Amino acid sequence: MTDKNELLAGASEVSVDSEYFSPIPVGYKKGKTKYVIVTGTVMSGLGKGIFSSCLAKLMQDKGLKVSPIKLEGYLNIDSGTLNPFRHGEVFVLDDGMECDMDLGTYERMLDQNLSKDNFATSGQIYRDVLEKERHGDYLGRDVQMIPHVTGEVKLRLRNLAIKTNADIVFVEIGGTVGDLENAFYIEAMRELAYEEGPNSCCFVALTYILEPKTLGEQKSKAAQLGIKQLMQCGVQPDIIACRAANPVGEKSRQKISVYSNVPLNRVISLHDSTSVYQIPAMLRECGMDFEVLRHLHIEDRINLRSERGEWAKWCDFTDKIGKEKQTVTIGITGKYTSLRDSYASIINALEHSGIALGCDVKINWFDTTDVTDKNAGDILKDVDGIIVPGGFGVRGTEGKIACVKYARTNNMPFLGICLGFQMAVIEFARNVCGLKDANSTEINDKTPYPVIDILPEQKKVNAMGGNMRLGGQDVEIKPDTIAYKMFKSKSVRMRFRHRYEVCPDYIEQIEKAGLIFSGKAPSQPIMQILELQGHPYFIATQAHPCLTSRPMRPQQMFLGLVEAAMKK
Ligand code: GLN
């Protein structure tokens, strides 16, 4: 079938002359897939992704097939060019998509690998519309926000539904209702609900209840106004989840209920909790899962036996939270601002390992701009282990190298991630191999010993955006190494995002001096894991192992670090 036919296929209502311009993809079965649509009001940062992933998890436990999608308002094609200190970490999917950190939340909560189909930005939507326009796909019509741009959004969701055979697609709309850049997403969802018919879509409005210290009571007006704004867009919420610091009282819930036509039992309190992994239980307690199922008319699709098993496993995991018997402190070299979001996956990976090992992992952040060989010991005296995470550019790199040296020479457990791996190679080259002023050409392109150099395939890349060595790659593990003992396998898959690598010319010299490259790319001389034997724990990887750590399957390199820190 040609593109043009595909655009128009499957729906008799679609024609050039009618206003029903809604591209239904071939093979789409109306009614098979239902949609839960999550929007936010009052402020951003409510945790829409956390909420949506927890609800999706409850549905997955019941044997339903779920597929999330994040719709971002910004015009960037992906998150790769965004500064993590402004927008949170760049999460990398196995297929190489650089996306919003919320996709990490979904992958962890659902223990499921996602793909580029689960992430859309306004930039992607407009790009696709403009490409179709140039291709002549709009059959002489003027191309408009409605129906063409909104049509493109619906097309994405329906394609995702077909591809994943989902019972429920969870749609998370970025930003807050009222943002100009997200308005067309909300309009598209209103159209979707209209086209799919009653009980096909469940709109969840997340909002925030203020509790000003000076008043000492909860205030729901901002929430009411936010919901009103959503209703002005033609969307009637079916469920309202009230975020707040403390449990939301009946009075506030009643006010919101009356104001929004949402029955009181569907206006729920979603107050702060110590761990995101406790939120599924919170949603379950207030019966949220069954409210959604009833609304979508799919109670008959669930498998309660599957749910019992899955829920028991989950509770075994969450029961361990807060009952840790030991505390360790891990130092992370990172800039001070908005650390939680910029290093979300590392924090999560440490939490997973801590829970598994019965250990409360505290984090000590420190900037390395002023760290030197002389003061490193002082700065690191209170930590039980250290992580040098990924990064770009020159700032703080000499301090990071000093930290690596301190860890190597003082039996301090160390995990290097991506840039941290490169720092470990440089430190070893300088201080053990005697290659004075060895460096990465990213940091100093005139170094006499470029032990870290640009990947050959990256030499011809000029533009920015989506062109690093990205995504899941297999790592071949050398037998009889610490890595092999840890992974218990000859091959592991990890996720990458880098332009530089260990320069192959120096591999032999470095290995001769005692550093072991225990993981490499199967068909190229790209070094991917390094380790030192005879040290309590000194390991680093060119990959980002934090991206594949899952609550009940903590990533091995993080487990190893926490374990070593506990022994210290
Ligand atoms: N800047 C380094 C590189 O491009 C490391 C990248 C990273 O830490 N993600 O290779």
Atom of ligand 1 nearest to the CA of 501: 10
Average pLDDT, the chain: 93
Q: Is 479 exposed, middle or buried (0-12, 13-18, 19+ CB in 10 A)?
A: exposed
pLDDT, tens digit, 9 for 90 and up, residues 192-245: 999 999 999 999 999 999 999 999 999 999 999 999 999 999 999 999 999 999
Atom of ligand 1 nearest to the CA of 390: 8
Q: In which element (H, E) is residue 409 found?
A: helix 397-409
Q: What is the mean pLDDT of residues 458-484?
A: 92
Q: What is the pLDDT of residue 43?
A: 87
How far apart CA 141 and CA 139 sit, in angstroms, is: 6
Radius of gyration of the chain (CA): 26
For residue 502, the CA-to-ligand 1 centroid distance in Å is: 12
Q: What is the pLDDT of residue 336?
A: 59
How far apart CA 482 and CA 404 sit, in angstroms, is: 19
For residue 399, the CA-to-ligand 1 centroid distance in Å is: 17
Token pair for residue 422?
Answer: 């490169």
Sign of the torsion formed by the C-alpha atoms of 193, 196, 198 and 201: negative
For residue 145, the CA-to-ligand 1 centroid distance in Å is: 39
Token pair for residue 383?
Answer: 């930590």
Burial 124-157 (b: 16+ CB within 10 A, else e): bbeeebeebeeeebbeeeeeeeebbbbbbbbbbb
How far apart CA 39 and CA 70 sit, in angstroms, is: 11
Sign of the torsion formed by the C-alpha atoms of 40, 547, 162 and 131: positive
How many C-beta atoms lie closer than 10 Å to residue 180's C-beta?
A: 8
Among protein residues, the one with the nearest Cα to ligand 1's atom 9 is: 390
* Secondary structure (3-state) at 296: helix
Q: What is the pLDDT of residue 42?
A: 86
Ligand 1 near 499 CB (within 6 A): yes
Block residue for tokens 């361990």: 320
Q: What would the DSSP string read from start to end of 105-161?
A: HHHHHHT----GGGEEEHHHHHHHHHHHHHTTTTTTPPP-IIIIIHHHHHHHHHHHH
Name the band, by pLDDT with cuts 50, 70 and 90, for residue 410: very high
* Secondary structure (3-state) at 101: coil
C-alpha distances in angstroms, 424 versus 88, 300, 383?
26, 56, 19
For residue 469, the CA-to-ligand 1 centroid distance in Å is: 10
Burial 6-36 (b: 16+ CB within 10 A, else e): ebbbbbeebeeeeeebbbbbeebeeeebbbb
How many C-beta atoms lie closer than 10 Å to residue 315's C-beta?
A: 12
Ligand 1 near 390 CB (within 6 A): yes
How far apart CA 4 and CA 138 sit, in angstroms, is: 8
Q: What is the mean pLDDT of residues 530-540?
A: 97
Atom of ligand 1 nearest to the CA of 497: 9
* Secondary structure (3-state) at 471: strand
Residue type at 310 in one-letter notation: E
Q: What is the pLDDT of residue 18?
A: 61
Name the band, by pLDDT with cuts 50, 70 and 90, for residue 6: very low
Half-sphere exposure of residue 282, counting CA atoms within 13 Å on the CB side?
20
465: pLDDT strictly greater than 70: yes
User: What's the chain's length in residues?
Assistant: 568
Among protein residues, the one with the nearest Cα to ligand 1's atom 8 is: 390
- Share above pLDDT 90 across residues of the chain, in percent, rounded to a whole number: 86
pLDDT, tens digit, 9 for 90 and up, residues 337-367: 567 889 999 999 999 999 999 999 999 999 9
Q: What is the pLDDT of residue 376?
A: 95
For residue 389, the CA-to-ligand 1 centroid distance in Å is: 10
Q: What is the mean pLDDT of residues 395-424?
A: 97
Q: Give CA angle at 123 (122, 129), nearest 5°.
A: 90
Sign of the torsion formed by the C-alpha atoms of 345, 350, 351 and 355: positive
Name the band, by pLDDT with cuts 50, 70 and 90, for residue 21: low
Nearest to 33 by CA among 198, 158, 182, 173: 158
How far apart CA 25 and CA 12 sit, in angstroms, is: 13
Q: What is the mean pLDDT of residues 283-301?
A: 96
For residue 499, the CA-to-ligand 1 centroid distance in Å is: 6
Name the band, by pLDDT with cuts 50, 70 and 90, for residue 498: very high
pLDDT, tens digit, 9 for 90 and up, residues 434-459: 999 999 999 999 999 999 999 988 88
Instruction: Identify the structural domains of the chain with CATH numbers, from first to last.
Output: 4-316 (3.40.50.300), 326-567 (3.40.50.880)
Whole-structure pTM value: 0.94
Q: What is the pLDDT of residue 79?
A: 94
Report CA 204 to chain centroid distance, whole Å. Answer: 21
Ligand 1 near 498 CB (within 6 A): yes
Q: What is the pLDDT of residue 17?
A: 60
DSSP state of 234: T
Name the band, by pLDDT with cuts 50, 70 and 90, for residue 141: confident
pLDDT, tens digit, 9 for 90 and up, residues 92-120: 999 999 999 999 999 999 999 999 999 99
